[in-house]
Amino acid sequence: MPFTGVSHKVGEHIDTDAIIPARFLVTTDPKKLGENCMEGLEHGWVKRVQVGDILVAERNFGCGSSREHAPIAILGAGMKAVIAAFPVRTLYSSVTSSSNGAFQRVMRAAETANLAITVPNVGDTFSLGSATVTVLGPQKHYSDVNNQSLILRVDYGSNAFLFTGDAEYESETDVLDAGEDVRCDVIKAGHHGSRTSTGYRLLYEAQPKYAVISCGADNEYGHPHDDTLSRLRDADVTVYRTDLNGTIVCRSDGVDLTFTTAKDR
């Protein structure tokens, strides 16, 4: 089955990534996940969503000082609807407990569905059809909420995809110092293309051909930052941006990659 990645933008704080051989969803914000998947089915970007799904909350369940830096609030608002809309057997996150009220709502939704939150260890792998997902980070516990993001590499045939969530330089560096294999064809730029993420060293070792940046048009944070775009240009990476391209779909047959965007349709 072909491997499909979707980056969907509904404003700066509501973006969803779906890696779909029909059974696996990685989301940086599940608030609109069900809505986006239904839109994908309607438009043909997603062929089907099957029982036995795996849901990965790539962003961490930490607390922050602003809407974008408080993924717990966003996740808490939408996870109940996601779990109700799709049969999920495994929920991966970077933590299992928090005093945050929104996280408690997530826990109650998971308990209602008899779904336990699983915190994967670095080096863990799981199958995704013919693809393999490897957990690369976080390498340790961080006080910074963004660095606690799960970092995943997905291999499908000869193609590889790297997802770093909101991880910043510290977490990126720890992954690289640990000798993790970050080589990829496609990288999801960290933290909406913030200057704090997707550093030169990561790009040098990952050697991506393509980068996808998920950010809202004219957002208040100025994402993606010029520093990040400059690094991507220096690394000769072709960039797709949801603020410019709309929904971005990447398909792999295990050898070749094809990209289509909302503006292509």
pLDDT on residue 146 = 86
Render the burial of 146-157: b for 16+ CB within 10 Å, e for the rest.
Answer: bbbbbbbbbbbe
CA–CA distance, 226 with 231 (Å, rounded to integer): 9
pLDDT on residue 173 = 98
Strand order in the sheet with 210-213: 125-128, 131-137, 151-156, 159-163, 186-188, 210-213, 238-241
pLDDT on residue 66 = 30
pLDDT on residue 245 = 87
pLDDT on residue 265 = 59
pLDDT on residue 199 = 97
pLDDT on residue 231 = 98
Report pLDDT digits (tens) over 110-133: 888 888 888 899 999 988 778 888
pLDDT on residue 50 = 41
pLDDT on residue 155 = 92
The answer to whether the CB of 223 falls within 8 A of the CB of 215 is yes
pLDDT on residue 171 = 97
Which positions of the chain have pLDDT values less than 70? 1-87, 100, 102-103, 265
Which residues, other chains included, contact 153 with Cβ-Cβ below 8 Å and sequence gap of 6+? 133, 134, 136, 160, 161, 162, 163, 180, 181, 182, 184
pLDDT on residue 4 = 55
* Beta strands 151-156 and 159-163, pairing class: antiparallel
pLDDT on residue 74 = 36
Which amino acid is present at 146?
A: N
